[in-house]
């Protein structure tokens, strides 16, 4: 799905690596997070100590991995990357922690998915730079204390609410990453175009930014699709015109809705007069699983103020009627 915020495979990850800003100053948007983080990092550098552990929360594609890399770079330290799901046992975590060098930055993506025993080991590691490695089983089991080098943990989560309190409390600095404004995404698109060697007009970049669902990863992906179009059908320059034509070819409309989003909204309006209608009924009408409608399409439609979830079912807003160019029935919608 071209408008999915998740990375879509190894090829995309290679391209993303090339587009990642390397310094805090090149990181676009998230002004407050950037300023606060600069203080945390430079304060620690000035004292010659490792900074507090950092928790980054926010949806996929908003720049958490990028920021972790920047933190390591600003501190002049190497970065170790792992993730909650990759660490299955406490022993896996002990292996990572015991091989960290002093000051190293450890990035744990999807930290809310860490297995319980590993999570408990992490508490002690974060607080005292020490872990207890348990050897043996049953009554003969012994805990062997192991010192680890002072390190900085950067944890990332898309679900801050799912993080257990004790873990959340051990982060000295928590940053919440928000969706980006179109003007910020426009800067990101122009910057990426520069790095990819693509000529882009200002209104071409703005057109892409407006359809990127507040997410840099999506903006960069749309840019690459428009570039293909501009190179094959035009003179290679990304203009408003080429962006519009290319993105309508990919069924991404001017607000960033794709085919599925529009099908859900269209059904809700045309078949159910704007609702309220139950999720499963709506899902049958678009020929999708209820879960797909709920998880894939709805969050963005709700965020856009096009759809509301009410106790009586899904309801379209006035903006939804306007967006699809339809006239609402006489009984006023939301």
**Shortest distance (Å) from residue 313 CB to ligand ADP:** 32
Among 24, 37, 64, 297, binds ligand ADP (CB under 6 A): 64
Q: Is 103 left (phi over 0), alpha (psi -120 to 50) or beta?
A: left
Angle (deg, nearest 10), helices 216-233 and 10-19: 100
Active site residue 109: yes
Cβ-proximal residues to 97 (8 Å cutoff; 6+ apart), any chain: 106, 121, 125, 131, 148, 151
> Can residue 61 be called a binding residue for ligand ADP (CB under 6 A)?
yes
> Can residue 53 be called a binding residue for ligand ADP (CB under 6 A)?
no
Angle at Cα 152 formed by Cα 158 and Cα 76, nearest 5°?
110
Active site residue 233: no
> Can residue 110 be called a binding residue for ligand ADP (CB under 6 A)?
no
* 170 known member of a binding site: yes
Active site residue 80: no
Contact 53, 152 (CB under 8 A): yes
Query: Given 50, 52, 65, 261, which residue is catalytic?
Result: 65
* 66 known member of a binding site: yes
Query: Given 50, 52, 109, 227, which residue is catalytic?
Result: 109
Binding marks (x or -) toward ligand ADP, 186..205, rule CB under 6 A?
--x-----------------
Q: Is 273 left (phi over 0), alpha (psi -120 to 50) or beta?
A: left
1-30 binders of ligand ADP (CB under 6 A):
16, 19-21, 27-30
Active site residue 64: yes
Stretch that binds ligand ADP, among 61-69, 140-148, 295-303, 305-313 (CB under 6 A): 61-69
Q: Which is nearer to ligand ADP, 13 or 310 (CB)?
A: 13
Contact 66, 37 (CB under 8 A): no
Among 53, 170, 211, 217, binds ligand ADP (CB under 6 A): 217
Query: Given 50, 52, 64, 261, which residue is catalytic?
Result: 64
Alpha helices in 99-160 (DSSP H): 116-128
**How far is the C-alpha of 316 from the C-alpha of 329, rounded, in Å?**
12
Q: Which is nearer to ligand ADP, 192 or 317 (CB)?
A: 192
> Can residue 51 be called a binding residue for ligand ADP (CB under 6 A)?
no
> Can residue 242 be called a binding residue for ligand ADP (CB under 6 A)?
no
**How far is the C-alpha of 199 from the C-alpha of 283, rounded, in Å?**
42
Helix or strand run (H / E) with residue 57:
strand 54-57
Helix or strand run (H / E) with residue 18:
helix 10-19
Q: Which is nearer to ligand ADP, 125 or 223 (CB)?
A: 223
Query: Given 211, 213, 217, 221, which residue is catalytic?
Result: 217
**How far is the C-alpha of 69 from the C-alpha of 80, rounded, in Å?**
9
> CA–CA distance from 109 to each of 64, 140, 233 (Å)?
9, 35, 40
DSSP secondary structure letter of residue 51: P
Q: Which residue's beta carbon is nearest to the bound ligand ADP?
A: 63
Cα 161 from chain centre: 15
> Can residue 288 be called a binding residue for ligand ADP (CB under 6 A)?
no
153-192 binders of ligand ADP (CB under 6 A):
188
Q: Which is nearer to ligand ADP, 22 or 89 (CB)?
A: 22
Which residues does the annotation mark as catalytic? 64-65, 109, 158, 217
Residues that bind ligand ADP (CB under 6 A): 16, 19-21, 27-30, 60-66, 188, 216-217, 220
């Amino acid at each position: 799905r071209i408008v999915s915020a998740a990375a879509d495979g190894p090829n995309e990850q290679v391209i993303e690596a090339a587009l990642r800003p390397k310094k805090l100053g090149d990181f676009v948007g998230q002004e407050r997070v950037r300023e606060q983080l600069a203080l945390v990092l430079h304060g620690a550098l000035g004292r010659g100590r490792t900074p507090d552990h950092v928790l980054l929360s926010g949806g996929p594609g908003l720049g958490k991995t990028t920021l972790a890399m920047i933190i390591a770079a600003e501190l002049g330290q190497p970065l170790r990357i792992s993730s909650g799901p990759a660490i299955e046992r406490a022993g896996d975590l002990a292996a990572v922690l015991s091989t960290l060098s002093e000051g190293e930055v450890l990035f744990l993506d999807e930290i809310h998915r860490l297995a319980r025993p590993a999570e408990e080991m992490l508490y002690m590691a974060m607080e005292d730079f020490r872990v207890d490695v348990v050897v043996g089983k049953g009554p003969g089991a012994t805990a062997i204390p192991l010192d680890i080098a002072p390190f900085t943990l950067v944890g990332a989560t898309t679900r801050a609410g799912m993080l257990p309190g004790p873990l959340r409390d051990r982060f000295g600095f928590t940053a919440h990453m928000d969706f980006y404004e179109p003007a910020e995404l426009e800067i990101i698109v122009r910057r990426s175009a520069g790095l990819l060697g693509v000529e882009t007009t200002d209104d071409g970049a703005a057109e892409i930014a407006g359809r990127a669902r507040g997410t840099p990863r999506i903006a960069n992906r749309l840019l690459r699709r428009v570039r293909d179009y501009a190179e094959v059908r035009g003179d290679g320059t990304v203009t408003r015109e080429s962006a519009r034509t290319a993105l309508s070819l990919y069924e991404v409309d001017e607000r960033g809705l794709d085919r599925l989003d529009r099908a859900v909204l269209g059904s809700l309006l045309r078949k159910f007069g704007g609702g309220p209608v139950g999720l499963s009924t709506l899902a049958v009408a678009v020929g999708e699983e209820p879960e797909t409608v709920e998880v894939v399409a709805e969050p963005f439609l709700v965020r856009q103020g096009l759809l509301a979830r009410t106790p009586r079912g899904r309801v379209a807003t006035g903006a939804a009627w306007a967006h699809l160019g339809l006239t609402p029935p006489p009984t006023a919608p939301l």
